[in-house]
């Protein structure tokens, strides 16, 4: 897909902040997302990580500063294109209940005027990639398990072969076994495809599993960004240590921290 090359990283926040009324969700923030890397946004509930993610595909517009998509400001005109070039996956999958799994996956491609044959081929490839039995594509979301729904949602996010993938606690509602299985599959897919990934979670183990880089937020502010080992070795402030320690208690034997 030939596109005009622009200077700059796939995604960048420049002083971007967002408030809802008097409630500050995200203070003006500078953050660069490098191509092909997985960034995990982590922090306690209400820290602004979901707001940050929504700024990245224009579901929210910043009050201050700007969001750059491939170096260009993400505004009304560019929004449409930017959204088609970034896949988005949320907790319950956001599958449309009136469409079959296959139709859900195909929808973005149909809107992009792909041919039926191309779409069918793409569906087969993606089903293989997401390890979803192809016969499930004829089912409606209500007829699928939670894990299967997330695999379908992932296929939908990937169908236009986007440059970036934005995931908002995609595994949050799954039971532990399904979740572990999907964590394995997702990481394999990210690595295989080389996408720029921004992944929101509040689970440190999950962050450690996926992240090239972790961005820890608290109360609308980036507390520290770096590898999880850096955060553990050189915490920028006491909160970082507290956050890691609290999570470590619940996940005794967290490998990445020991490494």
Partner 1 sequence: MIGLLAIAAALPLSWCGQDPGSPAPRVTVGSKKFTESVLLGEIAVRLLEDAGMETRHRRELGGTRILWNALLAGEIDVYAEYTGTLLHEILADESLAGEDLAAALEARGLRASRPLGFENSYALGMRAAQARELGVASIGDLRAHPGLRFGFGNEFLDREDGWPALRAAYRLPQESVGGLDHDLAYRALDAGDIDVMDLYTTDAEIVHYDLLPLTDDRGHFPRYEAVWIWRADLVDRAPGAVAALRRLEGRLDSGTMRAMNARVKLDRDPDAQVAAEYLAAELGLAGEWTLEPLAARLLQRTLEHLLLVAAALAAAVLAAVPLGVLAARRPRAGQVVLALAGVMQTVPSLALLALLIPMLGIGALPAIVALFLYGLLPIVRNTHAGLVGVPAELRESAEAIGMSARARLLRIDLPLASPSILAGIQTSAVIAVGVATLGALIDSGGYGQPILTGIRLDDTALILEGALPAAAMAIAVQILFGLLERVLVPRGIRLAAVR
Residues contributing to the site for partner 1 (CB under 8 A): 57, 59, 80-81, 83-84, 88, 90-92, 94-100, 107-108, 111, 140-143, 156, 166
Report yes or no: 161 and 1 within 8 Å, Cβ to Cβ.
yes
Tell me the closest approach of the beta carbon of residue 60 to partner 1, in angstroms.
10
Which C-beta is closer to partner 1: that of 165 or that of 257? 165
Other CB atoms within 10 A of residue 62 CB: 21
- For partner 1, which is the closer residue by CB, 80 or 124? 80
Going through 1-150 in order, the beta strands assigned E by DSSP cover 11-20, 23-33, 38-42, 64-69, 72-73, 86-89
**Cβ nearer to partner 1, comparing 201 with 224:** 201
202 secondary structure, DSSP code: S
In whole angstroms, how close is the CB of 114 to partner 1 at the nearest point?
13
Instruction: Count CB atoms within 10 A of the CB of residue 247.
Output: 18
Is the CB of 46 or the CB of 94 nearer to partner 1? Answer: 94
At a CB cut-off of 8 Å and minimum separation 6, what does 171 contact? 150, 179, 182, 183, 186, 201, 206
* CB 113, min distance to partner 1, A: 12
Task: Report in angstroms how near the CB of residue 138 gets to partner 1 at its nearest.
Answer: 11
Report the SS3 class of residue 58.
Answer: coil
């Amino acid at each position: 897909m030939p596109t005009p090359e622009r200077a700059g990283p796939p995604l960048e926040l420049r002083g971007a902040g967002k408030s809802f009324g008097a409630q500050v969700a995200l203070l003006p923030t500078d953050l660069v997302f490098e191509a092909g890397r997985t960034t995990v946004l982590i922090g306690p509930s209400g820290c602004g990580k979901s707001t940050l993610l929504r700024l990245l595909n224009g579901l929210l517009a910043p009050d201050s500063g700007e969001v750059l998509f491939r170096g260009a400001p993400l505004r009304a005109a560019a929004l449409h294109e930017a959204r088609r070039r970034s896949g988005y996956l949320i907790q319950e999958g956001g599958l449309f209940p009136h469409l079959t799994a296959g139709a859900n996956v195909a929808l973005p491609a149909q809107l992009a005027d792909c041919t039926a044959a191309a779409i069918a081929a793409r569906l087969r490839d993606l089903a293989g990639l997401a390890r979803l039995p192809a016969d499930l594509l004829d089912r409606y979301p209500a007829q699928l398990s939670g894990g299967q729904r997330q695999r379908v949602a992932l296929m939908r996010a990937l169908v236009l072969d986007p440059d970036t993938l934005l995931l908002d606690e995609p595994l949050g509602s799954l039971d532990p076994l399904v979740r572990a299985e999907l964590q394995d599959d997702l990481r394999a897919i990210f690595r295989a495809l080389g996408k720029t990934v921004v992944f929101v979670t509040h689970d440190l183990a999950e962050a450690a599993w996926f992240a090239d880089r972790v961005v820890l937020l608290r109360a609308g502010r980036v507390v520290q960004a770096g590898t999880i080992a850096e955060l553990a070795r050189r915490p920028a402030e006491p909160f970082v240590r507290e956050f890691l320690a609290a999570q470590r208690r619940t996940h005794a034997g967290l490998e990445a921290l020991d490494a």
